[in-house]
Amino acid sequence: MTDLTLFREETRDWLETNCPPEMKKPMTPHGMTWGGRNCKFSHPDQELWLKRLGEKGWTAPTWPKEYGGGGLSYDENKILAEEMTNLGTRMPLASFGLWMLGPALLEYASEEQKMEHIPKIIKGEIRWCQGYSEPGSGSDLASLKTKAIEDGDNFIVNGQKVWTSYANECDMIFTLVRTGPQEPKHDGISFLLIDMDQAGVETKPIKLISGASPFCETFFTDAVVPKKNLVHKLNKGWDVAKNLLQHERKMLASMGLGGSKAASKGKTGSGLATLSKKYVEVKDEKIIDEGLRQKIAKCDMNSHAFSLTLKRVSEEAKNSNNGPSAATSIFKLYGSEHNKQKYEIMLEAMGSQALGWEGGEFGPEELAITREWLRTKANSIEGGTSEVQLNVISKRVLDLPQ
Amino acid sequence: MTDLTLFREETRDWLETNCPPEMKKPMTPHGMTWGGRNCKFSHPDQELWLKRLGEKGWTAPTWPKEYGGGGLSYDENKILAEEMTNLGTRMPLASFGLWMLGPALLEYASEEQKMEHIPKIIKGEIRWCQGYSEPGSGSDLASLKTKAIEDGDNFIVNGQKVWTSYANECDMIFTLVRTGPQEPKHDGISFLLIDMDQAGVETKPIKLISGASPFCETFFTDAVVPKKNLVHKLNKGWDVAKNLLQHERKMLASMGLGGSKAASKGKTGSGLATLSKKYVEVKDEKIIDEGLRQKIAKCDMNSHAFSLTLKRVSEEAKNSNNGPSAATSIFKLYGSEHNKQKYEIMLEAMGSQALGWEGGEFGPEELAITREWLRTKANSIEGGTSEVQLNVISKRVLDLPQ
Amino acid sequence: MSLVLSETAAFLQDQTQRFAREKTPTSHFRSVRDSENPECFDREIWKQMADQGLSGILIPEEFGGSNFGLSGIGVVLQELGRTLTPSPLFATGVIGASFLTKIGTDSQKQKYLPEIANGNLTTCFAFEEGPRHKPIISKVTAEKKGKNYIINGKKSFVVDGGFADLIIIAAKTSKGPSLFLADKNSKGIDINIAKMVDSRNSANITFSDLEISPENILGEIDQAQDTIEEILDISRAALAAEMLGGALEAFEITINYLKEREQFGVKIGSFQALQHRAANMFTELELCKSCVLESLSCFDEKSNDIPRIVSLAKAKIGETFHLISNEGVQMHGGVGVTDEYDIGLYLKRARVAEQIFGNSEFHRNRYAELTGY
Amino acid sequence: MSLVLSETAAFLQDQTQRFAREKTPTSHFRSVRDSENPECFDREIWKQMADQGLSGILIPEEFGGSNFGLSGIGVVLQELGRTLTPSPLFATGVIGASFLTKIGTDSQKQKYLPEIANGNLTTCFAFEEGPRHKPIISKVTAEKKGKNYIINGKKSFVVDGGFADLIIIAAKTSKGPSLFLADKNSKGIDINIAKMVDSRNSANITFSDLEISPENILGEIDQAQDTIEEILDISRAALAAEMLGGALEAFEITINYLKEREQFGVKIGSFQALQHRAANMFTELELCKSCVLESLSCFDEKSNDIPRIVSLAKAKIGETFHLISNEGVQMHGGVGVTDEYDIGLYLKRARVAEQIFGNSEFHRNRYAELTGY
């Protein structure tokens, strides 16, 4: 028996023993665990599952053991993921700390900072949000104006951030601030970790077209930040920012893949087709409306092709051992455009039944699809617009002239 | 009886009496009359038809009578066109002189130049080609390098033009040449009329992907051009050029309309559908392949919408009495892109039968469609690329910032 | 056919434009939307529109209207579409007025048309029976019982069905479709109101042994097919005009944003990739203008090609409004997906308008059929 | 499944790349095209390819091949597709070799496979019966007469049918399709050669009482359906690999042109509108690479999802090669439509390759059916 086969057996055993029953059921809209000081669990099993996995470091399976991570190899991590999928266990923790901040800290933070922050991320004790964008700076992130001025052992921060996800529920925020007002655009930016539990930090939810408010505006008024919370060097925050953005894009890219698992299962049908069949004429399992059918097929094929590409690039990366590559720009671009398209097709298939807001005879799934359709419109904007991705591809990958 | 009703009756009578029988038959690929000193008629009726219409000035119905034109009003011209369509008469003369040079001369040429050149254009006695583009200057037309140097009563011209249509069969060429090498790009260009029947002018056909050679490279080596052939002022040729380009774009735009007449006839079916039906399964007159059918409908609807738009803009212009407007950029763009799309659909409908080159069992119409499909690829390049049209629309029409 | 606005139409357009800018800018839409008012429109504003004659454009003069025809009401809807003005004009002033004018008896006309013209009566057309447009009635039936008819079955997504006073019901009778009139408060009518994503009103209406007396039969029994098809086409053309207004406004809002918003030290409208996309949208809009104008005037000019032209207009503007509302949101970037900016409102309206009375694919299909393939 | 090239495949790719660059750059294609040679390929070059082992990649070692599998021949076709190398590799090395290897009798294998491997024998597959791909045989029949079969009917657009020595014929027998072998010079075979727009060879082949003796029956009578479907999928995957090569090359030619050509004093590749279009093409190509790799390896790995994966690959690369060849010509401007520049050659090849063995719509349809809708 090879080490990996042994690992697979042990892992399966451990998961079967330790995953609480509720956590083997499919995820519900409110069943996600976001962690943090004020974490609310909608079921006690969520807390248990987070605690057990967090202690083992398996919320961050490949992170080093010394900071509380799982310390798993690439292959072991793959096995863990496969076994979790096989057992149908839920994701224990959704966290911008895990997806974005953590990887950047591992690369850029001091030993003290790592010891301080990473274990709390892994255990879900601190919930993080991102303070990058500002009202005047969208795609042109580096034009940010929020200022941090040195004052003894602290920075004093003033300014405004926007698009801070769930900032009103978060404990800490990682921000880009201007510390060198004289320096060229990209060279005067620093990366600060700010505790939000202070008078100088206020948040205000932004209402979106979907009706939800997953984002906030966040205001800093003489907010106090100890200097130990500066990550990497002063005025060199842009290095951290770029690294972190790549992790963000990777995360966002995976959003386009919702339908692809179903699509790659063959005869069992795709999610899009199964949904559509409830609303359109079907004969011998075939959708009669050929125009719609071709659109669904095109979309399913794109999902399929996209998931094969993610797999290919990950297999290629495995050998070359590089971090996120320029190809992540393709994923962000394609994932978000594809997801938008998928929802437009759903709307077409469902007709008026997907256009409800309230009242009437809409099922909860239908109303959720309407809102989610509106939500997808942000996919190609957040984390770098599609236009920025196209610029990146044409300049960095294709090397086209400026 | 109103004047116009009377005019319609007289016109119908005249056409019925004077149009030779062969000229009432549908146009054949070789039946077009291009005029010029070496004009070859494939049927004597072509010559007769050209002579009769030319004498009446009805090859250029709205041009002033003093230069041999028809002198017709907007409404009279419309009636003439309608009656010619009703009777099914052929176009008497295809000519860049009529479509492009003539309108520009009427606006910019001296009285002597008009008297000299316009009657010959109307009667088809001189065949003109266009000398604008050069190998290094495509969309950036004003970067042209062909030089004309003053030498007594003449200009001496040296340089090379490209994309000169049928230059090897033409008598004269209207050209843009650089006369002010010191001036800024657009201010050193003059508009010259050059007789091609001289040792200093040579032409070389360019072979296209369609296999045909409708264009030439044209070389000037110390070609002699009398100063009386300078149109408009010295170094002000760009004014003429711009005016003329608008006429060219208008002409090229109409190319996208091939299928629209058929499409607007209602139940009689569209050309695209009729063609497709020969190659695909049909049941109760309906094309079974719904994907193809939707593509054809989309294309037909675009033809229909496009021809309604041409009509609308011409009705609007009738009242405002302006020349070609910025909207002509829309026509060139849409006409050429639409025409390309139409041929792609034909190819899809006809399958391998539209992909023949020679030999095998292809009908002449099929082989012609293959070549014409390749020919359409130039539609969105010649006379200003689609990209240039999009630039023009966004800057001049939408007034978007530079 | 005329593809240029008549003087009357130009006057109406001008008048409505002023009205919409002053009385019903998008802030009006927002206040109606965010109010507790379940009707989704403002009765006071509707009264003012009626006073301006907008509700009576399709009604003959003898019944208090102006009879300016579809070209007239088309430009009005276009201007109201620009500001997303919520009003019963479409369901009442277009559909209701057309049905009653075309096939109402003298006493039905006397009773209802003046009330529509003066803004006191609203109507709705209970037609669809599922979530996708289907111009064939199969589920709602009317059975003869003595002199009366008994209606049973359920209608879906009735525009303005949540508040309209008078319901025009299409139902299957023994040999074909028939039309009936019913007061919304009649016994046997159950109305389930829904607010759609565009914050307009729609309803599912269930009929349980609804009894219709002879004076409330609209037109000939079994003979409604042609009338229904004609009114559906009138509705589609009118809707297309409203959509054109929305698309034009969404486009202009976006172009203005491109001229204002700065990124990387320049206006984002100077980016060529955005310019080309904007120019393509402009081109499509120019085509739509022609199609919509033609689809309105073809009724007034009694063309024999009406169904094809209407399908052309509805399909083209459906695609184009779809495109422009998507591109508009994207070009606005982050603020485009916030409720604070208007562009998202057009996105929502675009999808509902695209969907009802036949989406683009439906109309392409119909166009192909009518053209003989 | 492996989405990364194996060492063998990487070796073959490298070897073929060198061969194609040295021996068969596009100038080779042009010289064959412009010669009087009706075969549309160069026998000397084909011999060299065979000497390198390319013709025997799908043939077992005992018959002179290397048995490197579809992943092996895929990368070879991809590299040859880059330079538009005209050769019988597809019809002979892929289709002919696969048929004979799968279902040939020992003596058929002995007779033909070594000859294919050494480049002496070419084959074609007479299958289609009309101008659009249809995987069902209905027009060409084989009737039993004693021990022999008599074939009648006409096949269309047989790839390499104009010169192939051995014709593999699919014909209808009493209970299903069957396969037969025939020498091109047999009595009862009439070959009408056509040059296609991509300057490759295709033929209509008419069979008039062509008599087939028992030793030339390929596989079981009436039982060919599964084999035909399998070989069609092999052919589609191989063709997709060739198309990927063509698309990659056309894309790279275009990108290089964007970096070289100047207009308005700058490189045209600096125009953002062109950049974004190029970036979109790149993205589509990345997806195609994955699909093609998967469609090749799924055979070698005996996946149970082969037909769906193959349809995915053929449809995606069909659309993408279509897009890139159109955009490539447009981005070249005027010179793009001249015969002098290479980009137009890819345009022509793209359409033929897209069309044969099922166009993108055909494969979307099939994908939908296989996925259960």
Task: Quick: pLDDT tens for B121-176.
Answer: 999 999 999 999 998 887 888 889 999 999 999 999 999 999 999 999 999 999 99
Least confident of A323-327, C38-42, C303-307: A323-327
Confidence of residue B263 (pLDDT cuts 50, 70, 90): very low
In A42-91 the beta strands, taken as DSSP E runs, fall at: none
- Tell me whether residues D4 and A401 touch, CB distance under 8 A: no
Instruction: Enter the DSSP assignment of B236.
Output: B
Domain-located, residue D2: no
Mean pLDDT by 10 residues, chain D (373 residues): 77 96 97 89 96 96 96 97 98 98 98 98 97 94 97 98 97 97 98 96 97 98 97 98 98 98 93 98 96 95 94 98 98 96 98 97 96 94
- Looking at residue D13, which CATH number applies to its domain? 1.10.540.10
For residue B146, the model assigns a pLDDT of 96
Interface test with D, best of A268, A400, A402 (most D CBs within 10 A): A400
Domain-located, residue B323: yes
Q: What's the total number of domains in chain B?
A: 3
Distance from the Cα of C261 to chain B's closest Cα (Å) equals 11
Domain-located, residue B106: no
Domain-located, residue A108: no
For residue D181, the model assigns a pLDDT of 98
pLDDT tens readout for residues B60-100: 999 999 999 999 998 899 899 989 989 999 999 999 999 99
- Looking at residue A372, which CATH number applies to its domain? 1.20.140.10
Residues C85 and C144 in one domain: no
Residues A379 and A276 in one domain: yes
Residues D209 and D290 in one domain: no
pLDDT over 90 percentage in chain C: 94
For residue B265, the model assigns a pLDDT of 47
CA distance C320 to C354: 10
Domain-located, residue C2: no
Domain-located, residue B119: no
- Tell me whether residues D337 and B381 touch, CB distance under 8 A: yes
Distance from the Cα of B149 to chain D's closest Cα (Å) equals 25
Sign, CA dihedral C292-C297-C299-C303, equals: negative
Domain-located, residue D139: yes
Point out the domain boundary residue: A237, A270, A300.
Answer: A237
Chain A contact present for B315, CB below 8 A: no
Interface test with C, best of D258, D276, D330 (most C CBs within 10 A): D276
Of C270, C304, C371, the CB nearest to B402: C270
Report the DSSP pairing between strands B128-131 and B172-178. Answer: parallel
pLDDT over 90 percentage in chain B: 75
Scanning every residue of chain A, which has its alpha carbon at the shortest distance from the alpha carbon of C193? A360
Domain-located, residue C92: yes
CA distance C36 to D48: 83
Please say whether the beta carbons of D179 and D218 come within 8 A.
Answer: yes
Residue type, B99: W
Residues C293 and C313 in one domain: yes
Chain C partners within 8 Å of B390 (Cβ): 275-276, 279-280
Please say whether the beta carbons of D317 and D244 come within 8 A.
Answer: yes
pLDDT tens readout for residues B35-44: 999 898 989 9
Scanning every residue of chain D, which has its alpha carbon at the shortest distance from the alpha carbon of A386? D276
Chain A partners within 8 Å of B283 (Cβ): none
- Complex ipTM, two decimals? 0.92
Domain-located, residue C162: yes
Residues A265 and A391 in one domain: yes
Domain-located, residue C1: no
- Looking at residue A71, which CATH number applies to its domain? 1.10.540
Domain-located, residue A243: no
Please say whether the beta carbons of C373 and B286 come within 8 A.
Answer: yes
B357: phi then psi, degrees, rounded to nearest 5 = -120, -50
Half-sphere exposure of C122 (CA within 13 A, CB side): 20
Domain-located, residue D65: yes
Residues A141 and A228 in one domain: yes
Residues D187 and D204 in one domain: yes
Domain-located, residue B61: yes
Q: Which residues of B243-270 are buried (b: 16+ CB within 10 A; e: fewer)?
A: bbbbbbbbbbbbbbbbbbebbbebeebb
pLDDT over 90 at B323, yes or no = no
Residues A257 and A386 in one domain: yes
Can you give the residue range of the structural domain that contains D90? 7-121
Chain C contact present for D264, CB below 8 A: no
Of B140, B207, B351, the CB nearest to D131: B351
- Tell me whether residues A301 and D315 touch, CB distance under 8 A: yes
Using alpha carbons, list the distances in angstroms from residue B363 to B366, D119, D242, D299. Answer: 5, 36, 30, 40
- Tell me whether residues A359 and C193 touch, CB distance under 8 A: yes
Using alpha carbons, list the distances in angstroms from residue A78 to A62, A73, D365. Answer: 10, 9, 34
Residues D115 and D129 in one domain: no
Residues A354 and A232 in one domain: no
> What value does the mean pLDDT take over residues C184-205?
96
Q: What's the total number of domains in chain D?
A: 3
Compute the C-alpha angle B399/C330/A307, nearest 5°: 140
- Tell me whether residues A398 and D369 touch, CB distance under 8 A: no
Token pair recorded at residue B296: 């054809």
Output the pTM of the full model. 0.91
Chain D partners within 8 Å of A282 (Cβ): 373
Residues C264 and C356 in one domain: yes
Can you give the residue range of the structural domain that contains B21? 3-94
CA distance A181 to D263: 39
Per-chain mean pLDDT for chain D = 96
Residues C277 and C259 in one domain: yes
Domain-located, residue B351: yes
Residues D251 and D192 in one domain: no
For residue A193, the model assigns a pLDDT of 98
Residues D271 and D366 in one domain: yes
Confidence of residue B262 (pLDDT cuts 50, 70, 90): very low
Please say whether the beta carbons of C203 and C161 come within 8 A.
Answer: yes
Residues A258 and A382 in one domain: yes
CA distance D152 to D188: 9
- Tell me whether residues C255 and B398 touch, CB distance under 8 A: yes
Pick from A278, A371, A295: which is nearest to A338 by CA?
A: A295
Residues within 8 A of C (CB atoms), A 338-377 only: 340, 347-348, 350-362, 370, 374, 377
Scanning every residue of chain A, which has its alpha carbon at the shortest distance from the alpha carbon of C330? A381
Torsion of Cα atoms, B3 then B7 then B10 then B13, to 10°: -140
Residues B393 and B258 in one domain: yes
Residues B136 and B54 in one domain: no
Point out the domain boundary residue: A237, A266, A300.
Answer: A237
CA distance C35 to D21: 72
Residues B259 and B216 in one domain: no
Residues A231 and A300 in one domain: no
Per-chain mean pLDDT for chain B = 90
Residues D229 and D364 in one domain: yes
pLDDT over 80 at C276, yes or no = yes
Chain C contact present for A184, CB below 8 A: no
Scanning every residue of chain A, which has its alpha carbon at the shortest distance from the alpha carbon of D289? A309
Pick from D69, D188, D187, D58: which is nearest to D123 by CA?
A: D58
Mean pLDDT by 10 residues, chain A (402 residues): 89 95 86 91 94 95 96 91 91 93 95 97 96 86 93 96 93 95 87 97 96 94 97 95 83 54 51 94 93 95 94 78 62 94 97 96 95 96 92 94 91
| Residue C64 CB coordination number (10 Å) | 17
Please say whether the beta carbons of C211 and C143 come within 8 A.
Answer: no
> What value does the mean pLDDT take over residues B195-213?
96
- Looking at residue C140, which CATH number applies to its domain? 2.40.110.10
Instruction: Enter the DSSP assignment of A158.
Output: E
Domain-located, residue B352: yes
Residue type, C118: N
Residues C332 and C241 in one domain: yes
Residues D264 and D366 in one domain: yes
Residues A258 and A389 in one domain: yes
Chain D contact present for A142, CB below 8 A: no
Chain A partners within 8 Å of C274 (Cβ): 387
Domain-located, residue D1: no
